[in-house]
Structure 1
């Protein structure tokens, strides 16, 4: 919901849950400076508004055997809305595609793919991605290492802007 008006407490709740989604409501209430019952009501309201989309464990892909991360830049033959939607739906169905972003510019989509090994990714690339209807080009970049992988949004930037 773009432009949703949040007060300082709601923003604190979101920032705290973004950093640690496993804390109890009592701990969360203490951190944001309100009692537990209104804190729980606020969290439920934030969930109902779609501002909290879910709660997830931050798993380490490499420790789980997913050694390969690749960014794939995809160009389509047609950018008609029906074709864009069809490609997005196809991406949602591919397990190796973990993120799919439609872009403005020279490429149409940027995909983040995670695979247990290079052979599995190459099979996906040749048999699924490049063979998909409407795909004109695919350029891939293999991730060597991650310098930063920060989920969520930078609440500190929002707070600084609101303080101006």
Structure 2
């Protein structure tokens, strides 16, 4: 599906999404116009979903990261989708993954402090429609945090 140059473009852009097309082209051994065409094709194919800045949560005042394991009362597809739509509108929820097993969803949540997290938990999460129970774990330290996927 992707050739070696495409893979190299993806690898380099994942490492530094701010590089110019000219820099990228030089690094992958192309001239700028065909490199830009390849990048656009990778975007259109969905291999590149977007570009973003990696922000420092603590520096911005978000000192707490919590993982919440959520079990729903009903696992009907419409109820699962309704929960996903609900959490999509909650800014503190940074990630939402549906799981196979006892827990239906795991959420990554950021908060400024323990009090604001507790307010969010009771005001927005445990009281959400169809939520049966929520188990939470506060992050003590993060030793690895890499965006994307291993591109080799």
Please name the residue that 1:120 is paired with: 116
Q: CA deviation at 1:48?
A: 1.0
The residue that corresponds to 2:35 in the other structure is 39
DSSP 3-state at the match of 1:131: coil
- Aligned residue for 2:109, secondary structure, equals strand
TM-score normalised by length of structure 1: 0.91
Equivalent residue of 2:59, what SS? helix
Gap runs ≥5 in structure 1? 157-164
Question: Matched residues in 1 for 2:112 and 2:35: separation?
Answer: 41
RMSD: 0.6
Question: In the alignment, which of 65, 70, 73 is matched to residue 66 of structure 2?
Answer: 70
> What SS does the corresponding residue of 1:149 show, helix, strand or coil?
coil
Structure 1 residue 35, shift from structure 2 partner: 1.0
Output the CA distance in 2 between the equivalents of 1:103 and 1:90. Answer: 17
Partner in structure 2 of residue 102 of structure 1: 98
TM-score, length of structure 2 as denominator length: 0.98
Return 5+ residue gaps in structure 2 as ranges.
none
